[in-house]
């Protein structure tokens, strides 16, 4: 029976190399991350024969001291962690302390470094199983150069699985591009067989980031892309998203970063796919480069040696934040990307002029209201309503209501009920239902928000907000103070989520509102209809139980024959 034995360090390093060093591109990734963590401003990557002969990376970072050089190749030795607590708040790209040891165990390895406070550089060399560190003086500017020669020379079983030099270099180039897209402040030069393949200059101004995006993605992408920023609580998402007409036959232009680290995560991918659901035909893929920023304590990157996978403390919150951010962007893009010839200026057309235009054969296919296209609305699912007929109150039947057209930023709509046309003032219908709901405090039910609403106010307003918050709590609104200049809303009644809460709270506090009626009036003034058609259909669903009341209040009017005749 075999006894348990401690593995020799050289064998342990080669086993670890099986996870960390899959191919030359993995070596480049690990070395680039070290250079970035060393605060480098410029990095030069030189490759020979797809990385199997030579991988040489030079940077101008802070360098390594002579005393630390021997530890650089020791397993589980790192300058980035000191305590267990540090493991749960990792801000550096590297931290495991095993990459250099693994790389050196399967190559002829050389490291030259000059610390920024040292007078000269020192060089360290090692080959494969020889873990003896030979350190000697060397000439080198401030920074570090690492050369990895003859990769897998001592592990022929691994080397035979490598592809052609061209294929391996394509993987290396992709790694450099991915890293360059998250570190605009660093300049990158990539050479293959002494030929410059990629030259990226440092970018210090945010407005110049488009140049690097265009250099990597191509000018066609940047012309068809939208830059956006979305922030909620401690989360921030920003980046470039290709418009729906800019699609790809493969998913080769999809980059997602968390705190500057490129990741491949099932949760993130699901949120993005869900946002783009039905936006592209089968076989076409969106293009994007997105950056998610969140506190390092909210994400665990110590999941896999390659550091591509992560775990979130609040996975559902992250998923919904990404989904809603992209979904809202796509909705707005749909309305803003209308051809100029198809847009009707609001100031030049009346509501009923627009209806006539929409029904005209020459405009049916290209007519757009200022915010929402006719074709977009027709594709929406049709809700079913139960209401009493306006011609016979004693007869009750099930009717199908279809939203045909929206105009004037969605405030008014043409709806079809059992083949009869109605004009609806959707905004005032919503306000009517909202007022009725708020007048019955005991019946109000609150719903938790997937993404809480954070509202920033000045410190004086926060200090004077106690009375207003007490009134809002009677409406089953979960609102509280989280700092001396910030409020947060975590739950709302369903119809109140269409209110501009920042404006409402500012007015309520400024005017020192103390009554329920005055509060309702302020909320009414700051109610806004969503442009998202799925949200509009949710509002229409609320009309079913109050259809007669809305008709009596003249918020919904039948389109009579005389009215229709006036349109033609």
pLDDT at 62 (0 to 100): 94
Residue pair 436/480 in contact (Cβ under 8 Å)? The answer is no
User: What's the pLDDT at 403?
Assistant: 56
Residue with tokens 């070596």: 27
Cα gap 215→142, rounded to integer Å: 29
99, two tokens: 């990459």
CB 262 within 8 A of CB 182: yes
Q: Which residues contact 69 (CB under 8 A, 6 or more apart)?
A: 111, 113, 122, 124, 133, 135
Residue-level pLDDT at 196: 96
Helix (H) or strand (E) holding 11: helix 9-20
* Distance of alpha carbon 271 from alpha carbon 315, whole angstroms: 11
* CATH among 3.60.15.10, 1.10.150.120, 3.30.230.10, 3.40.50.720 for 206-336: 3.30.230.10
Task: Let me know: does 183 contact 39? Beta carbons within 8 Å.
Answer: no
Neighbours of 109 (CB within 10 A): 23
Q: Could you say which of 3.90.79.10, 3.30.1370.100, 3.50.50.60, 2.40.50.140 is the CATH number of the domain covering 341-568?
A: 3.30.1370.100
Task: Identify whether the C-beta of residue 310 lies closer than 8 Å to the C-beta of residue 263.
Answer: yes
Q: Residue 290: its pLDDT value, please?
A: 95
Q: 10-residue block means of pLDDT along the chain (568 residues)?
A: 66 59 91 93 96 96 90 75 68 74 89 94 83 82 96 86 93 95 95 96 82 90 87 87 82 90 87 79 85 89 72 86 82 40 33 41 33 30 34 40 53 70 79 79 78 83 86 86 86 83 86 81 78 66 72 77 64
DSSP letter at 342 equals: G
Are 211 and 200 in contact by the 8 Å Cβ rule? The answer is: no
Tokens at residue 408, please?
A: 């004037």
Tell me the CATH class for 9-200. Answer: alpha beta
In 3D space, the residue among 357, 268, 360 whose CA is nearest the CA of residue 317 turns out to be: 268
- Rounded to 5°, the CA angle 481-483-487 comes to 40
Do 9-200 and 341-568 agree at the fold level?
A: no
| Residue environment code for 404-414, b if the CB has 16+ CB neighbours within 10 A, otherwise e | bbbbbbbbbbb
Residue 95 has a pLDDT of 67
Alpha helices (runs of H) in 365-458, residue ranges in sequence order: 374-378, 426-438
Contact 134, 125 (CB under 8 A): yes
User: What integer pLDDT is reported at residue 306 of this predicted model?
Assistant: 65
pTM (two decimals): 0.62
Burial of 118 (0-12, 13-18, 19+ CB in 10 A): middle
Chain centroid, CA 428 distance in Å: 34
Residue 281 in tokens: 């035909």
Eight-state DSSP code of residue 150: S
Q: Domain coordinates of the chain in residue numbers? A: 9-200, 206-336, 341-568
């Amino acid at each position: 029976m075999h006894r348990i034995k401690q593995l020799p360090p050289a064998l342990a390093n080669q086993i670890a190399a099986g996870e960390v060093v899959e191919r030359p591109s993995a070596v480049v990734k690990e070395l680039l991350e070290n250079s970035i963590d060393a605060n480098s401003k410029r990095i030069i990557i030189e490759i020979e024969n797809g990385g199997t002969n030579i991988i040489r990376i030079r940077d101008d970072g802070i360098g390594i001291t002579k005393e630390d050089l021997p530890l650089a190749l020791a397993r589980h030795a790192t300058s980035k962690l000191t305590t267990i607590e540090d493991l749960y708040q990792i801000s550096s790209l590297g931290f495991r302390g095993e990459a250099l040891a693994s790389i050196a165990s399967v190559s002829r390895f050389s490291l030259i470094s000059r610390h920024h406070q040292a007078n000269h550089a020192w060089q360290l060399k090692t080959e494969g199983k020889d873990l003896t560190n030979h350190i000697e003086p060397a000439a080198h500017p401030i920074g570090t150069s690492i050369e990895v020669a003859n990769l897998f020379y001592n592990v022929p079983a691994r080397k035979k699985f490598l592809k052609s030099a061209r294929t391996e270099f394509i993987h290396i180039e992709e790694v450099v591009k991915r890293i360059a897209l998250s570190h605009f402040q660093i300049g990158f030069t990539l050479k293959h067989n002494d030929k410059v393949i990629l030259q990226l200059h440092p970018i210090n101004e945010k407005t110049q980031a488009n140049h690097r995006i265009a250099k990597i993605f191509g000018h066609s992408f940047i012309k068809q892309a939208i830059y956006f920023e979305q922030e909620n609580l401690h989360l921030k998402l920003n980046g470039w998203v290709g418009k729906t007409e800019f699609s790809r036959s493969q998913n080769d232009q999809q980059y997602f970063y968390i705190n500057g680290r490129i990741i491949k995560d099932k949760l993130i991918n699901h949120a993005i796919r869900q946002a783009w659901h039905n936006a592209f035909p089968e076989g076409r893929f969106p293009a994007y480069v997105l950056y998610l920023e969140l506190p390092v304590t909210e994400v665990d990157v110590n999941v896999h040696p390659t550091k591509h996978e992560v775990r979130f403390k609040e996975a559902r919150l992250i998923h919904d934040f990404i989904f809603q951010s992209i979904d809202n962007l796509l909705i707005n893009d749909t309305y803003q990307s209308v051809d100029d010839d198809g847009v009707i200026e609001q100031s030049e057309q009346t509501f009923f002029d627009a209806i006539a235009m929409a029904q005209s054969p020459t405009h049916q296919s290209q007519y757009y209201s200022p915010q929402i296209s006719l074709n977009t609305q027709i594709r929406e699912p049709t809700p079913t309503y139960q209401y009493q007929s306006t011609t016979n109150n004693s007869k009750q039947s099930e009717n199908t209501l279809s939203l045909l057209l929206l105009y004037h930023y969605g405030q008014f709509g043409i709806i079809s009920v059992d083949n009869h046309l109605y004009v609806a003032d959707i905004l005032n219908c919503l306000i009517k239902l909202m007022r009725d709901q708020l007048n019955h405090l005991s019946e109000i039910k609150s719903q938790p928000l997937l993404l809480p609403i954070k509202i920033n106010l000045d410190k004086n307003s926060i200090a004077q907000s106690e009375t207003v918050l007490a009134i809002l709590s009677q409406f089953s609104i979960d609102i509280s103070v989280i700092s001396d200049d910030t409020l947060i809303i975590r739950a709302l009644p369903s119809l109140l989520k269409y209110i501009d809460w920042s404006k409402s709270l500012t007015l309520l506090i400024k005017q020192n509102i103390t009554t329920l009626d005055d509060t309702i009036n302020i909320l009414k003034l700051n109610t806004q209809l969503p442009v998202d058609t799925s949200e509009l259909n949710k509002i229409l669903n609320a009309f079913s139980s109050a259809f007669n009341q809305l008709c009596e209040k003249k918020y919904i009017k039948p389109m009579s024959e005389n009215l229709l005749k006036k349109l033609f």
